Amino acid sequence: MITKIRTYLRNEAHRFERRVKAKGFKQEVSYRVTKIVVSIVRSFIVFGLCFVILYPILQMIVAAVTNPDDLSNPLVVWIPRQFSLEFIQFAAEILDYRTGLINTAIMSFGVMILTLITSSLAGYAFAKLKFKGINILFFFVLFTIVVPPQTIAMPLYMIFNRLGLTSTLSSVFILAFLGMGIKSGIFIFIFRQVFRNLPKELEEAALIDGCGVFKTYYLVMLPNASSAFITVGLFSFVWQWNDVFYTRLLIAVENLNILALNLTSVSTKLVYMLQKLGVDQTLAEGISRNPLLVGTIANTGALLMMLPLLIGYLFVQRYFVESVERTGIVG
Amino acid sequence: MKLFGKRITYKQEKVIFGILFLSPWIIGLVFVFFSAILDSLLYSLSTVHFISGNATDAEISAFIESLGGFAFKKSGVILEWVGLDNFRYALFEHGTFNRILVDSVIEIGLNLPIIIIFSLLVAVMLNTRFKGNVFARAVFFLPVIIASDAITTALSQATLLQDTMNNVEESVFGNFEFQAFLLEAGLSQSIVTFLSNTVNQIFNVISYSGVQILIFLAGIQSIPSHLYEAAKIEGANSYESFWKITMPMVSPHILTVGIYTIIDGFVRAPITELILSLKDNLLYGYSASMAWIYFAIVILIIGIFIGLMNRVVFYYDN
């Protein structure tokens, strides 16, 4: 160890001497000092902000595994005296976690697949299969992006209500397939940018080798746009998972367990559950007004809801960052 | 390729497949988007009466007669034409609409510059190589994954829990002391309030700017490196090359990021709550007119933003 440090220092000293000879002592020192100061300031800011992001998550985790007695104990900071899974069990019960998780996963996954199909096809058409009037259609893509969802919320509900599709997952699926789901316009836009950046030669080579339009799309263009598929897939999955607006509008809470919806009505669910356990209604409502209890349950519930995404993020985090950079969305 | 026994050219084939590829989206545009937006416009100009499930046609037409004036049945509801009354109600009679609308607009106006500057700075920092930058990137995009209204709602109920865990007296006192220090230093009250509010909502700013950081990061990485090399040879330091190269090259993305930020705030805006609560009370007319006013203002803001930005933006191609 010590010899390692010694050789490192010796090498550094040699390098420094060489630099000083080339540039002059003053420049070299000021260059080094600036470099060190910049890196200190940068790491201060970057890791400070990392702390700001991670702090609430860590706190949620700690609050979820702490024994209820330790929560209000001022002597306990961060590391509880006794770990317990009581709150997690309780919150899982209130959120109806198992069915909720399955429903939410089915919903998000289905929406992801349908969004990928529709928006990649549409994006490809906008980029490579131009016909007269397609620019007007593309203008409408941009228009769907800037219209706030609340403007079309009520008629949307009426349309699906008339078809008898509210409070089923199919309403969300239909919206995704028709390219009108959560931020679908942005996804079409991303695919168009990516397909537009693919060279024309690819298409010509495919044509010479006897590919029709669909085969060109399927065999040549799709594999080349894989980064866009990753980006759009991830975003549509995550946004659908976290969405409250469309889900609350189109899927009634009572009929279908969706985690995000259950999480927004924790205190009502608490009253309901206490009543089911045979607690008197007034008492149940009183208990559900205890902010510390409701808060801890809501906190644990939020953790439970984001847990699958967090675990998934650990694995796909690399693709997530790289793919957005490689899509050339901005190029 | 052959179609109905006739040979068609590759060009025609492309058109056919173009329309075919677009067909799900076009169906959605016409039957969902256009029909919804038309309905919404009609709702905003009328009072909406609901038809109970077992009403006969005769009863419905009798009801329409009894309304007098101009009324008609449209997609399951009866619309009684009232002209601009709903808009008048929203703007001049409703108790809180104006205030909430102004709040929403101010929120956009304040958050827009903060998020743009913040995400650009973070993107520049994340782009440089330093120890632990893989970790830092992973952490910075974490909020994209977990930013959810459901979680925000849940955590807003858990403030007492957080206070209990944080030993709240101390942290509030610390913040307070710092504010007093700034006031003593001669800053005006409004600036101090603005600063402390911004600092206090740093977590929100971070969690709303994940996608924006990604866009900027991609933009910075698409800048050709020979520009930096040339600048370095000419003797520019990294500060100068940031302002002379990075900023102009990234400026078109400021437009993208800004518009995305505005769009991203739609569902979070305080006005959403009001509009949805009116809808739940079956006051579709009022709710629709408020949504249209909000839409008009958002379009106005986007227009102003694009207008302002077009003076600053630099396009490399031209």
Q: What's the rounded Cα separation, in Å, for the pair A284 and B215?
A: 49
CA–CA separation, A273 and A232 (whole Å): 39
Which of A16-25, A243-252, B302-311 has maximum average pLDDT?
B302-311
The 10s digit of each residue's pLDDT in B208-235 is: 888 888 888 888 888 888 988 999 898 8
Report the distance separating Cα B19 and Cα B14, nearest Å. 9
Q: Give B213's strand partners.
A: none
Q: Who's near A330: CB < 8 A, 6+ residues apart?
A: A193, B215, B218, B219, B222, B252, B253, B256
Closest to B139 (Cα-Cα) out of B188, B210, B199, B194: B210
| A41 shares a domain with A94 | no
Chain segment B91-131, per-residue pLDDT in tens: 888 888 888 888 888 888 888 898 999 999 888 888 887 78
How far apart are the C-alpha atoms of B245 and A308, rounded to whole Å?
41
- B66 and B106 inside one domain: no
Residues B221 and B303 in one domain: yes
A97, exposed or middle or buried, with CB in 10 Å at 0-12, 13-18, 19+? buried
The parent domain of residue A78 ranges over 2-84
Query: Which residues of A are less than 8 Å from B273 in CB distance?
Result: none
Residue type, position B232, single letter: K
> Minimal Cα distance from A266: which residue of B?
B154
Structural contact between residues B121 and B314, judged by C-beta atoms closer than 8 angstroms: no
Least CB–CB distance from B291: residue in A144, A151, A306: A151
Determine, yes or no, domain membership for B203.
Answer: yes
According to the model, what pLDDT value does residue A110 have? 94
Same domain, B104 and B157: yes
> What was the pLDDT predicted at B173?
41
Whether residues B220 and B187 fall in one domain: yes
For residues B65 and B99, membership in a common domain is answered with no
Nearest residue, CB atoms, A317 vs list B138, B207, B215: B138
| Residue B270 resides in a domain | yes
Domain range for B47: 2-84
User: pLDDT at position A321, please?
Assistant: 66
The CATH code of the domain that includes A291 is 1.10.3720.10
Q: What is the mean pLDDT of chain B?
A: 81
pTM value is 0.85
C-beta atoms of A144 and B1 within 8 A? no
Structure-model confidence comparison of residues B189 and A205, the more confident one: A205
For all residues of chain A together, what is the average pLDDT? 83
Distance, in Å, from the CA atom of B176 to the CA atom of A98, rounded to the nearest integer, reads 45
Say if residues B214 and A190 touch (Cβ distance below 8 Å). Answer: no
In chain B, the largest separation of any two C-alpha atoms, in whole Å, equals 87
How does residue B3 score in pLDDT terms, banded at 50, 70 and 90?
Answer: low
Domain tally for chain A?
2
pLDDT more than 90, % of chain B? 9
Reported as a pLDDT band with limits 50, 70 and 90, residue A117 is: very high
Residues A95 and A80 in one domain: no
Answer whether B266 sits within 8 Å of A150, measured CB to CB.
yes
Q: Are residues A149 and A297 in the same domain?
A: yes
pLDDT of residue B27: 93
SS3 B209: coil
Q: Write down which residue in A63, A84, A105 finishes a domain.
A: A84
Helices (H), chain B: 10-27, 35-44, 57-67, 85-88, 97-127, 133-140, 142-146, 149-157, 159-166, 168-184, 189-200, 202-208, 210-221, 225-233, 238-241, 247-264, 270-280, 284-312
Number of domains in chain B: 2
Of B28, B125, B263, Cβ closest to residue A145: B263
Looking at the complex, does the CB of residue B157 fall below 8 Å from at least one CB of chain A? yes
> What is the chain B residue with the closest CA to A319?
B138
Do B116 and B71 belong together in one domain?
no
> What is the C-alpha to C-alpha distance for residues A103 and B286, in angstroms, rounded to an integer?
34
Spatial separation of the C-alpha atoms in residues A148 and B265, rounded to whole Å: 9
Of chain B residues 87-116, which have a CB less than 8 A from chain A?
none
The pLDDT of residue B172 is 43
ipTM summary value: 0.83
Same domain, A113 and A77: no
Average pLDDT (B266-277) is 80
Q: Chain B partners of A30 at a C-beta cutoff of 8 Å?
A: none
Which of B17, B117, B141, B220 is the mutation pick for testing A, counting most A CBs within 10 A? B17
Domain boundary among the residues A47, A62, A84 is at A84
Whether B127 and chain A come into contact, CB under 8 Å, resolves to no
A·B CB contacts under 8 A: 302
The pLDDT of residue A122 is above 90: yes
Q: State the distance between the two ends of chain A, measured CA to CA, in whole angstroms.
A: 48
DSSP secondary structure letters along A291-321: HHHHHHHHHHHHHHHHHHHHHHHHHHHHHHH
